[in-house]
């Protein structure tokens, strides 16, 4: 019995099938927005500093250190962004909260060198996604000038040990990433904030959510090998 379906036609069908499958599984379904129902963060584990005081009971969350004469202090404030709101799921930056550095004259050696913020983000009233945000503090000589000299500015560097925190929403895998500081509405985002002496310095902290990439390359390679093998089997069959 003669088959009307040629080997070339079969090969084309397999190729199209592989392409369609690759496009289908290679693009994760993306929800237009992720509902953020709560944001928070508490200071913990300061390193160094004199007379360090932490208050996580009120908003803003505060940490203070120094106690220079006449009894002023330096420190950080953290105010989470207001909720609820919808965060974009396509990697567009959005505000996590506001960071303040009160940069005032303190005795030498009385500043912290590091502190963590135990950050949490609750999605659609589900279990919070939790992460640590590290703030590294570089205290420069306390020389105040009316027009701040960048050489005298303190430097605050932000980082996270988990650059892509995974979570799942409505059956889709996402990752949350900390981006850094911005003073211009997210147009420019940096991980190091230079703060002027003798004043309160303010910047917003930004993050982003994006769909997790799927499938793994090994999965696609295995699938491709299987389809090629199947095509070879079909070729032998049609030659009979």
What pLDDT, in 10s, does the model give residues 42-61? 999 999 999 999 999 999 99
In a domain, residue 99? The reply is: yes
Rounded CA gap, 44 and 118, in Å?
7
Residue 45 sits in which domain range?
A: 33-211
- Mark whether 88 and 180 lie in a shared domain: yes
- Mark whether 84 and 176 lie in a shared domain: yes
- Mark whether 181 and 235 lie in a shared domain: no
The residue among 79 and 12 whose pLDDT is bigger is 79
pLDDT at residue 14, as a whole number: 40
3-state secondary structure of 237: helix
- Mark whether 198 and 183 lie in a shared domain: yes
On whether the CB atoms of residues 193 and 178 are closer than 8 A, the answer is no
- Mark whether 124 and 226 lie in a shared domain: no
In a domain, residue 74? The reply is: yes
- Mark whether 21 and 119 lie in a shared domain: no
The residue among 154 and 13 whose pLDDT is bigger is 154
pLDDT at residue 6, as a whole number: 53
- Mark whether 203 and 226 lie in a shared domain: no
On whether the CB atoms of residues 78 and 85 are closer than 8 A, the answer is no
Split into its structural domains, the chain has a count of: 2
- Mark whether 21 and 76 lie in a shared domain: no
- Mark whether 95 and 139 lie in a shared domain: yes
pLDDT at residue 206, as a whole number: 97
Mean pLDDT for the chain? 80
- Mark whether 159 and 225 lie in a shared domain: no
The residue among 5 and 134 whose pLDDT is bigger is 134
- Mark whether 12 and 127 lie in a shared domain: no
The residue among 23 and 70 whose pLDDT is bigger is 70
Q: Quick one: three-class SS letters along 84-153?
A: CEEEECECCCEEEEEEEEEECCCCCCCCEEEEEEEEEEEECCCCCEEEEEEEEEECCCCCCCCCCCHHHC
- Mark whether 202 and 130 lie in a shared domain: yes
Rounded CA gap, 68 and 221, in Å?
64
In a domain, residue 2? The reply is: no
| Band of residue 18 on the pLDDT scale cut at 50, 70, 90 | very low
Which DSSP letter does residue 163 get? S
| Band of residue 213 on the pLDDT scale cut at 50, 70, 90 | confident
Question: How large is the average pLDDT for residues 183-197?
Answer: 95
Q: Is the pLDDT of residue 66 over 60?
A: yes
In a domain, residue 1? The reply is: no
Scan for tokens 């550095």, then name that residue: 101
| Band of residue 32 on the pLDDT scale cut at 50, 70, 90 | confident
């Amino acid at each position: 019995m003669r088959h009307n379906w040629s080997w070339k036609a079969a090969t084309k069908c397999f190729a199209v099938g592989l392409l369609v499958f690759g496009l289908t599984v290679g693009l994760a379904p993306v929800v237009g927005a992720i509902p953020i129902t709560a944001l928070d963060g508490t200071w913990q584990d300061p390193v160094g500093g004199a007379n360090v005081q932490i208050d996580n009971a009120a908003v803003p969350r505060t940490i203070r250190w120094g106690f220079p004469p006449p009894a002023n202090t330096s420190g950080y404030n953290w105010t989470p962004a207001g909720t609820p709101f919808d965060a974009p799921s396509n990697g567009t930056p959005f505000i996590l909260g506001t960071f303040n550095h009160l940069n005032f004259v303190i005795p030498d050696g009385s500043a912290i060198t590091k502190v963590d913020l135990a950050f949490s983000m609750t999605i659609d009233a589900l279990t919070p996604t939790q992460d640590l945000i590290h703030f590294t503090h570089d205290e420069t000589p306390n020389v105040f000038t009316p027009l701040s000299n960048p050489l005298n500015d303190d430097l605050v560097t932000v980082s996270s040990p988990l650059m892509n925190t995974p979570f799942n929403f409505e059956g889709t895998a996402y990752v949350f990433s900390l981006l850094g500081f911005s003073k211009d509405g997210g147009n420019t985002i940096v991980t190091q904030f230079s703060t002027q002496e003798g004043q309160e310095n303010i910047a917003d902290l930004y993050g982003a959510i994006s769909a997790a990439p799927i499938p793994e390359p090994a999965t696609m390679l295995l699938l491709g090998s299987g389809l090629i093998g199947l095509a070879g089997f079909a070729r032998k069959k049609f030659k009979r």
